[in-house]
Amino acid sequence: MPVISVPQAFNEEELYVDLRSILGHPLFLKCEGFNFAGSIKLKAATEMVEAAERSGTLAPDSVLVESSSGNLGVALSMIAASKGYRFICVTDSRCNLSTRLMMEALGSQVHVVASPGSHGSLLAARLAYVRELCDSDDRCLWLSQYTNANNWKAHYARTGPAIARAFPRLDVLFIGVGTTGTLMGCARYFRRWHRPVRIVAVDAAGSVIFGGEPGRRMIPGLGMSVRPPLLDESYVDEAVRVEEVDTIRTCRRLARRGFVFGGSTGTVVSGATDWLDRHDARGLTAVAIAPDLGERYLDTVYQTNWVQGLYGDEVLDDDTSRGTQVQGSQPHHRR
């Protein structure tokens, strides 16, 4: 029986969903949302904060500052509340209302960037505001999930080994990309493993992580409007992009079978399904990482009016259809 005294001490690491009966493919989904922060971001948040404490850069009177589209902000809010730090999350208008309310309930201050302004993108505007905060108050400490190596080290130490223990004959691993912390930590771990594992990065259409022009992205979580500094493409075998309509269809399809996952998970499952459609999956051991659960998407992905207003009625024509479509790119082939 687990007994904890701080919320970050608990994280369910061993839960997988076998999606074969839903997708028609052998795919195991590693569920990372069963902790008090509700997402995989708890791992990176914990490692970044504790590394800053060990180095002495985080003092008792420090004010944590971070740019986040949602889940990392919740994780840092929870840790800050547990440890007694102030935390300011800088997010933007795409952040779900329930996510903002969760951060505020935990005692954090949330600043919402409403428009890109002269900065060119919402992310650039968020980062500019973070820099202004740090310049105006020397107590502010920006953890910088986009450049902080402890982001990927958390997954090198925990996520990769957990998957390896559960699937010693793993063949292919599907990982959603944003800051690329999860991708780089797992990819580095499996590079030195006892057998080759194909690493497939799943990105959102409109993201520029693997090149291309930026486009509209309304579902927070995966994708970025700038190339992530943490990314090293030499560790990636293939990258696929998923349209948001296919993310929505996949989320709603899983929900019709009782599994309510978040938008990031819908994107990963959609990309993995299409990849498996295009390859001979017989005998493959395939795992996909589900970063989040779906409660924070009830007013967006699962809200009919929101979906119709942004994507049209046709997205809802058949909630049970797979509907995945990948806009593919293949950055590197190691083997």
Whether 316 maps to a domain, the answer reads yes
> Which of 89, 119, 142 lies at the terminal end of a domain, its last residue?
142
Rounded to whole angstroms, how far apart are CA atoms 120 and 52?
Answer: 31
> Which of 107, 142, 177 lies at the terminal end of a domain, its last residue?
142
When pLDDT is averaged across residues 305-325 and rounded to a whole number, the result is 72
Report phi then psi at 63, rounded to 5: -115, 110
Whether 2 maps to a domain, the answer reads no
The four Cα atoms 184, 186, 189, 194 give a dihedral, to 10 degrees, of -130
Total Cβ atoms within 10 A of residue 306: 16
- Domain enclosing residue 221, as ranges: 7-34+157-329
Query: Does one domain contain both 106 and 48?
Result: yes
Number of structural domains (the chain) is 2
Exposure string for 111-123, b = 16+ CB within 10 A, e = fewer: eebeebeeeebbb
118: its two tokens: 């002269």
Q: What global pTM score does this model have?
A: 0.92
Whether 293 maps to a domain, the answer reads yes
Query: Does one domain contain both 127 and 177?
Result: no
For 273-282, the pLDDT digits (tens) are 999 999 998 8
Is a pLDDT exceeding 90 seen at residue 290? yes
For 153-203, the pLDDT digits (tens) are 999 999 999 999 999 999 999 999 999 999 999 999 999 999 999 999 999
Rounded to whole angstroms, how far apart are CA atoms 172 and 156?
Answer: 17
Query: Does one domain contain both 180 and 280?
Result: yes
Local confidence band at 318 (pLDDT 50, 70, 90 cut-offs): low
Query: Does one domain contain both 109 and 184?
Result: no
For 73-105, the pLDDT digits (tens) are 999 999 999 999 999 999 998 888 999 999 999
For 38-47, the pLDDT digits (tens) are 999 999 999 9
| CATH label of the domain that carries residue 108 | 3.40.50.1100
Residues comprising the chain, all counted: 335
Whether 28 maps to a domain, the answer reads yes
What's the Rg (C-alpha) of the chain? 19
Rounded to whole angstroms, how far apart are CA atoms 276 and 31?
Answer: 20
